Amino acid sequence: AQSVAQPEDQVNVAEGNPLTVKCTYSVSGNPYLFWYVQYPNRGLQFLLKYITGDNLVKGSYGFEAEFNKSQTSFHLKKPSALVSDSALYFCAVRDDGGGSYIPTFGRGTSLIVHP
């Protein structure tokens, strides 16, 4: 079975400061991990994914995520936050050891970047 948790409903950060949005997962095999962003009244936009290889994955809009197998985490990061980064962020996981091709999404974390 696969599951994902986003432990923070909301993250507040000042513009220009680094940001981290947390995600932890549970799978029986190897994880495939995704981050999506949702702006108000819009669909989810793909940011980045981890399948295999380097633990640091770079994605769109200056975001990156670090895969940590021992901590079963895949935190989203950005060195310097922008007000325009304010949005809802979703982490998703798919278990390569399971029979389903459907990823499980977290409940989302609202990121608020203050000017």
Partner 1 sequence: DSGVTQTPKHLITATGQRVTLRCSPRSGDLSVYWYQQSLDQGLQFLIQYYNGEERAKGNILERFSAQQFPDLHSELNLSSLELGDSALYFCASSSLLVGGRVDTQYFGPGTRLTVL
Q: Which residues bind partner 1 (CB under 8 A)?
A: 32, 34, 36, 41-46, 49, 51, 90, 94, 96, 100-108
At closest approach, how far in Å is the CB of 33 from partner 1?
Answer: 10
Using alpha carbons, select from 99, 90, 101, 106 the residue that is nearest to residue 26.
Answer: 106
Rg, the chain, Cα only: 14
At closest approach, how far in Å is the CB of 11 from partner 1?
Answer: 17
Q: Which two tokens stand for residue 22?
A: 């947390």
Where do the DSSP E strands lie in 51-114?
A: 56-58, 64-68, 73-78, 87-95, 104-105, 109-114
At closest approach, how far in Å is the CB of 12 from partner 1?
Answer: 20
Residue nearer to partner 1 on the CB measure, 40 or 115? 40
Residue nearer to partner 1 on the CB measure, 9 or 70? 9
Strand 24-26 with 3-5, pairing: antiparallel
Residue nearer to partner 1 on the CB measure, 14 or 102? 102
